[in-house]
Amino acid sequence: MALETASNPSEAEVSSVTCEKCSRELPLLSSNQVEKSSLWVCVSCGASHLGCADGDLLSEQSSLVRIHEEQFETGDSAGIPAHIRVHLASIANRAVPQDAMNRRRSARVVNPLMVSAIELDNNFVVMRDALRIIMTDVSREGIGLALTEGTEAPYLALQFPPREGQAIQVVARVVRQQALIPPYVAVGCEFMFRFGNE
């Protein structure tokens, strides 16, 4: 579902968000357009805020907020069987072009886990329901994913299952897409920032 909108957010009335509970200034913008907002959480006090995000603010202050966990919930949580995940990860890793391989300075680890992903638009607003997708590899700089039909989103928010405590949330920029086996498309992403943990 593409968000059909009459105006872009710069034309909408926006103001920065200050948490009414703990008085912290958050790297969020409140918009008068609810359909261009999503639900965030103030990390220091847990209060919820409806808004969109600013990339410049987030790059410095992403640890002050998280995406509200409920937006990562997926309807069909059955997942994809381990043997299919392993197979996809192995093809994805063979298919990575050498130049993309070289761009990542640290070792890629093949790790076919299921992660929850949310497609985000240019204002880091949730575009549609969360997806359960296969992670095919990960390094310090980025992550490889296998998505059915690929994605049109510029950014993905990813939530990793926690070893303990709260799940880790990151935002990654989509930099590369390449057909794997139908219907899967390898999506290569570069990490941008990590949200905070309460």
Site of interaction with Zn ion (CB under 5 A) = 19, 21-22, 42, 45, 47
CB of 40 to Zn ion, least distance (A): 10
C-beta of 19 vs 147, nearer to Zn ion: 19
Please check whether residue 144 is in contact with residue 191, taking contact to mean a CB–CB distance below 8 angstroms.
no
CB of 152 to Zn ion, least distance (A): 33
Residue 121 DSSP SS3:
coil
C-beta of 44 vs 93, nearer to Zn ion: 44
**12, 18, 76, 190, 195 from 53: Cα distances, Å:** 14, 13, 28, 19, 12
C-beta of 17 vs 117, nearer to Zn ion: 17
C-beta of 21 vs 128, nearer to Zn ion: 21
For residue 126, give the DSSP letter. Answer: B
CB of 162 to Zn ion, least distance (A): 22
CB of 25 to Zn ion, least distance (A): 10
CB of 176 to Zn ion, least distance (A): 37
Handedness of CA 122, 124, 129, 132 (dihedral sign): positive
Report d(CA 87, CA 85) in Å as an integer.
Answer: 5
C-beta of 23 vs 77, nearer to Zn ion: 23
CB of 26 to Zn ion, least distance (A): 7
Residues 6 or more apart whose CB falls under 8 angstroms from that of 62 comprise: 27, 171, 193, 194, 195, 196
C-beta of 152 vs 198, nearer to Zn ion: 198
Neighbours of 98 (CB within 10 A): 7
**Beta strands 38-42 and 114-120, pairing class:** unpaired
